[in-house]
Chains A and B, each alone.
Chain A
Amino acid sequence: MKPGVTAAKAAVSLGLGLALAASGATDSQGVGGTVTTVSITSVSGYAGHAFVYAQVSDSTFGFPAPTGTGHQSPFYSEWVAQPILSPSCPWVWAVYVFDRATNRQINTPPPDTPPPNFGTTTVLCASPSATPVAEPPQADAAARLDLDLQVTVSPPVASAGSTSIVSAVLSNALTEDLDLFLSMAIESWSVTSWSIDFGDGQMTTLNAPVGTSIRVPHVYQAAGTYDARVVAFISGHAQAAVYDRYGTVHLLRRPFSVEVGNQAVATASTRPSRIYRSPQALVAVVPYIGLSIGAPTTTAFRHIDGLRGALTSLSVQLLIVREGELVVNGVAGGFGHSWLAGWRFDGAPSDAPPGVGTAPGGTHAAGEPLRLQWNAPDRILGGQPRDYVVPVTLFVATRFPDGHVASYAIGSSFSVSVNFAAESG
């Protein structure tokens, strides 16, 4: 890790939110016999604002746009050598400058220009002493990148133990000189990492390139007020374009890094007492004859008739007597929503053939049918049916109004009346 980054993170952790850190770099380079100086100043800030200032200066004066169309200048030029047979300047450059957007020449001479008229107002001798396109010479060009970081905590007041979201949004304003003579631009900058200090002793770092905004969930376990601090570490390049007298562009590319931080206050209130009251439920069934379960019905039964000696399929349903309830600080917080997650047959093995009926003890999914058979009574018992009680354990899931989901095992049973029905007369 770079020393500057380490120092900035240490400053964040110590709460020095208003500290400023500035760094500058200046270098010079000879371009076409002149001296060009590029300087970059990065000013980091931890109160929400930072900026980068880049400047290029030329020791003599600028030259017009480069030839060709492969550059980023808004203009381009064509240079044509013209002999004039002057003792002091036997030939000149006739420079034709065009607007890149429209391809229109911008230095066309007036119609009544006396000869020698080369079709341009820009004529340069080998040692030029005048500006090319009748504009004042430009000694320097500058670019500035302003960075603003907004940090928020949502919700501002949360219950201890609940999730808060720490958000940071980085905005920027960029001003550049893309001039005919000298250009200074800041390009290809990005956030390389984020550092988040939640203020409760926990920190986290996001190293992947995650754009210019983040949303980080965090749980404050204890009640209190916390300063959530976020620092964005940014790096990029500043690029200067200098044109020599031959119209050739020289690109001077310099890296920079800067940090911008800000903070927000997060408040965690006392954790409320929550009581989750379990639902009260009973089992009910919908009978089907045979192995297939038909279309679901809206009515299920606690007591059914059974066909003696017939395999009966039963769709197990949940009959809610009272829904699960949430109580917050002693006050009713609403009812939950319960559904059947599964069931278990707790009775003795039925008279169904082996492998066909439901065996006791296994856990089944909610949609699976309970398959039972009763072969008794097998004789007339005074015309009275025989009653069976079928015990079932219901596995119920309840979603409470605060999103909490709880699971319950509820014991219940339904009854079946079976007649001996082989009599005839």
Chain B
Amino acid sequence: MIRSRGQSVLYAVLLMPTLILVFALAVDIASLQMQKLRLRYAVDLATVTAATAVDERYYSQTGRLRLDPGLATTTTRDFLLRNLSGMPGIPEPAQVAAAADITIVNEIPAADPYTRAYLDRPAVCARIHVPYRFLLLGWIGLHVVDVTVAANAEIRT
């Protein structure tokens, strides 16, 4: 009869790091996805708000709708700052908002410079870069990744 005493301990010793790694991967990836979702909401709502910045003078002069580039850019940056402030994991929301890539597209049809989405109306396109710090994967040396989120919104009131 073969003695199997101690094998379970061996299994435990060998599989525990793997299980822990899988657990850490699951937790951090889920957190990352949640953070990307929050960031997506923040950028999306900022562009939607900025898409109301209609160039009223141009509208009266041409009968055509387009965005006021200056006002739309400022509005996007302002609402990015508002939306990112207080969000967990964003230590410097002002820096993120100030560094955001913002493009106002008035010549249509065109493609979103960040997502390559097709634009058939004047639109606000924005992209942010946010560092994300892992909670558990840092044990294996994976501390920070750069999260990039882009969104656009066509002109509206």
Contact = CB atoms under 8 A, between A and B. Distances in A.
A309 B157 CA distance: 7
A297 interface: yes
7 closest pairs, A vs B, by CB?
A: A304-B63, A301-B63, A421-B156, A424-B153, A310-B157, A305-B65, A307-B157
B52 to A, nearest CB: 9
Given A289-B54, A305-B65, A307-B54, A421 B155 contact: yes
Which of B61, B62, B63, B65 counts the most A-chain CB atoms under 10 A from its CB?
B63
22 contacts: A286-B63, A287-B59, A287-B60, A288-B59, A288-B60, A297-B60, A301-B63, A304-B63, A304-B64, A305-B63, A305-B64, A305-B65, A307-B157, A308-B156, A308-B157, A309-B157, A419-B121, A421-B155, A421-B157, A424-B47, A424-B51, A424-B152
Contacts of A308: 156-157
Which of A285, A286, A297, A305 counts the most B-chain CB atoms under 10 A from its CB?
A305
Interface string B129-157: 00000000000000000000001111111
Interface residues of B, number: 25
Interface in A402-418: none
Given A285-B63, A425-B112, A425-B115, 17 more contacts: A286-B63, A287-B63, A288-B56, A288-B60, A294-B60, A297-B61, A299-B62, A303-B63, A309-B157, A383-B120, A421-B154, A421-B157, A422-B48, A423-B153, A424-B44, A424-B151, A425-B151
A425 B152 contact: yes
A288 to B, nearest CB: 6
Contacts of B56: 288-289
B20 interface: no
Interface residues of A, number: 23
A309 B155 CA distance: 12
Contacts of B48: 422, 424
B34 interface: no
A303 B63 CA distance: 7
A421 B50 CA distance: 13
B117 interface: yes
A301 B120 CA distance: 22
Nearest to B47: A424
Nearest to B122: A421
Contact of A421 (B115, B117, B121, B151): B121
Interface in A270-314: 285-289, 294, 297, 299, 301, 303-305, 307-310
Nearest to A303: B63
Contacts of B152: 424-425
A299 B56 CA distance: 15
A102 to B, nearest CB: 81
Interface string A363-385: 00000000000000000000100
